[in-house]
Structure 1
Amino acid sequence: MLTEERAHALAQACQPFQEFLGQLTANDLLDWIEHELGHHQALDDYQQVGDILTKARPPKHLLHIVSGNTPHAGLQSLLRGLLVGAQNTVKLPKSDTQSPSIPELYTFHNHLPDTLKPLCNFTDTLDLPLLHSADTVIAIGSDQAIADIHNQLLPQQRFIPHGHKISFALIDKPSTKHAQLAAVDASLYDQQGCLSPHVIYVKENAAAFAPMLAKAMEHYHHTNPRTGLTLSESGAIRNLRETIRYQAAIEPENFQLYESPQGTHWTVIYENAPTLVPSPQNRTIYVKPWPENPHLLGTELEYLSTIALSPLSALLNEVEILNPARICQLGKAQHPHLFWHHDGFAPLASLVTWQDIHL
């Protein structure tokens, strides 16, 4: 099947998944291939570059080890593998029907034409023979899970890891609009993915923004309730709340706690300290003042993924020095474009190898 045929078939299959993949046409997919591989037919035939003929080759067997927290990551990964024409195996989370990745991936597979369906296999078991059968492995998960997989790979296998990452947002000043957009970014997928902000930084009067965000979080909860938690997840939020409650009683000018009236549906914490810290997830968000020196955010900057800004143009210079892989508008943190460079990787170019003929 030629690349152009695959692009048309995949664009049609993607239509029901615009929430996760965006509005795609076959021309969009072909333009993407041309951008990353130099020519939209680079996978079909040799292209001349100087005195060399070169052709891109897809992986013979591409293994996607996906997490269960956000469906768009697994969908995007599989779509990329199909677009370059690889044979794909998707290792799903262990038979967890609550995982949003599983039904979306199966439904996407059902929408594929019969010519592409054989290029997809699904399993919830990962053993050494399967792991070693792939010439390219993409893994999405915790740093420990990534390390465990990496330690089992053979030297000749290509490995594309997507481990622990953290994101945050920055706004110029408090406003109802900013609060509504921040509530969406902090609530969607219950902060389970690497694109979920854990801190909202405010350049002017962060303390005033915290109650505005709390109101917006409550409103979002009523229209989009959070999924259920394990005892451990609930306990982590309650423990943090009690810690902040105690600190707020001693230093009310530096700490404030805003929490859902019943249960742990959402939590907003104002803290007068710039350090970027992971929250316990599940709609728990810090509000902090933006420091004059962004490097004061601390060691978590090593794991920086996405920074959401509002207004983007006015604040871009504030954060470019931190070299995040992605900068976006506030409210769009959870909706990366299909063509984005996930953790800085070129998503198509990183999959292929090349065969050259020297003239």
Structure 2
Amino acid sequence: MIPSPEQVHVAVRRYAESDPTGWGTGLSPEGAWLALGAACLEVLQGELDPRALLPPHPTRRRMPPKTLVIWCAANVFTAPLEWVAQFLVLGSRVVLKAPTGAEAPLRALVEAFEGLPVELVEAPHQQAWGLLAQADAVLAFGSDRAMTELAGRIPPTTARSLHGHRASVAVVQGHDAALAEALALDAALHDGAGCMSPAAVFCLGDAGALAENLADAMAHMQRRVPRGAVHPSIGPAWRRRTGLARILGDCLEGDGWAVPLLPDYRAEPATLPRMLPVHPIETLDDLEVLRGWPLSTCATDLDALRSIASLGFCRICAPGTMQRPPLGRPHDGVDVINALCRQISLERS
């Protein structure tokens, strides 16, 4: 029997009540609770009516996969939740392939969804390729290299939606405290991991004032939701960016956070945990520095959506919602549900 939206909501609430502090996410206890709560809330507030997810069409039938394999990444532990919820109400059996060393969040998810067709496979990649032959569709997240390898293992006729590295930024004109607090939240969720976390803020207004307010907001966020443990390998990149900012602009830095103020040509498409660079720009034409970036999300307070979208962004949202995408949206510009359904043309007279 296909689970109802109400049954899925009950399972999501159970997941939201699970204690994530022992899951080894790399986040602080406060950070883990914040990330879990944000992800569950988006699902609970979203639309899970199957007729809304797959609206009826007079001459076309879209058949959800009987078995969907979700190949999970380790950087954003909540990422599979929205897809599990949506495909369950469409009637799919969902098999989660856990990332090695990051199985605990998925164990908790499967436990919360007990009684519903959600399964977990814990095995190294090399021992899990057989899953792909059993799948009607594959949804995967990870590095570009991992997605390339995975694509070569999926049978040619199997539907797939594979998502590698993407970069996200904010483009703003304001500099007030409320905007800074929203951007600090975007940077704090998952400690900057994930393709929707801001790698940079481009400011058309008073970039210095924004940097100062952002520093205050980042410091406040660090006190409320401390940054998790940082791997020693992050140190050299952190010191390089902050040192460069002190030479070329300015750097506001505290315990567990940094706001480098740098020229736009020094923007980089990679995030560091709780570092949010600010880049002054004079016009939107200066955003040409983003050409060639694998773009995901842009948070903005501007109305120039067409100009921003033309750069290649897949999603445009308000500051403060970058890492809280709504249910049912395209992901990386892909209508994932349609991409993973079998399309049947009904042409009977």
Flag whether TM exceeds 0.5 (same fold). yes
1:19 aligned residue (31, 38, 44)? 38
1:175 matched to which residue of 2? Answer: 176
1:282 aligned residue (273, 281, 284)? 273
2:66 matched to which residue of 1? Answer: 60
The alignment's C-alpha RMSD in Å is 2.6
Q: What do residues 250-288 of structure 1 show as CA deviations (whole Å, max 9, x unaligned)? A: xxxxx111111x4xx111111122564224411111101
Distance 1:290 1:339 in 2: 33
2:327 matched to which residue of 1? Answer: 338
Q: What do residues 86-144 of structure 1 show as CA deviations (whole Å, max 9, x unaligned)? A: 222111121236xxxx42x3333223352x1x442332433322233223111101111
Match status 1:257 vs 2:256? no
Q: What do residues 3-38 of structure 1 show as CA deviations (whole Å, max 9, x unaligned)? A: xx53231122223546214366799311xx334422
| Structure 2 spans left out of the alignment, 5+ residues | 17-36
Q: How many residues align?
A: 325
- Kindly provide the amino acid, as one letter, of the partner of residue 351 in structure 1: L
Distance 1:192 1:27 in 2: 23
2:149 matched to which residue of 1? Answer: 148
- Kindly provide the amino acid, as one letter, of the partner of residue 7 in structure 2: A
Matches within 5 A, 1:7-86: 7-16=5-14, 17=16, 19-22=38-41, 28-30=47-49, 33-39=50-56, 49=58, 52=59, 55-86=61-92
Contact map agreement 1:21 1:337 (CA 8 A) in 2: no
CA shift, 1:212, in A, is 2.0
Match status 1:241 vs 2:242? yes
Contact map agreement 2:183 2:319 (CA 8 A) in 1: yes
Secondary structure of residue in 2 paired with 1:130: helix
Distance 1:141 1:268 in 2: 27
- RCO (CA 8 Å, sep 6+): is it higher in 1 or 2? 2
The normalised TM-score by structure 1 is 0.81
Worse-superposed segment, 58-67 or 349-358: 349-358
Match status 1:121 vs 2:114? no
Cα pair distance change 1:190/1:132, threshold 3 Å: same
Q: What do residues 17-74 of structure 1 show as CA deviations (whole Å, max 9, x unaligned)? A: 46214366799311xx3344223xxxxxxx7x2xx5x543222321111112223321
1:322 aligned residue (289, 311, 334)? 311
- Kindly provide the amino acid, as one letter, of the partner of residue 155 in structure 1: P
Identity of aligned residues (%): 26
Runs of 4+ in 1 over 6 A off after TM superposition: none
Contact map agreement 2:159 2:339 (CA 8 A) in 1: no
Match status 1:353 vs 2:347? no
Distance 1:222 1:27 in 2: 31
Cα pair distance change 1:354/1:318, threshold 3 Å: closer
CA shift, 1:334, in A, is 1.0
CA shift, 1:299, in A, is 4.7
Distance 1:272 1:23 in 2: 35
Distance 1:25 1:256 in 2: 42
Contact map agreement 1:57 1:354 (CA 8 A) in 2: yes
CA shift, 1:325, in A, is 1.5
Indicate the structure (1 or 2) with the bigger Cα radius of gyration: 1
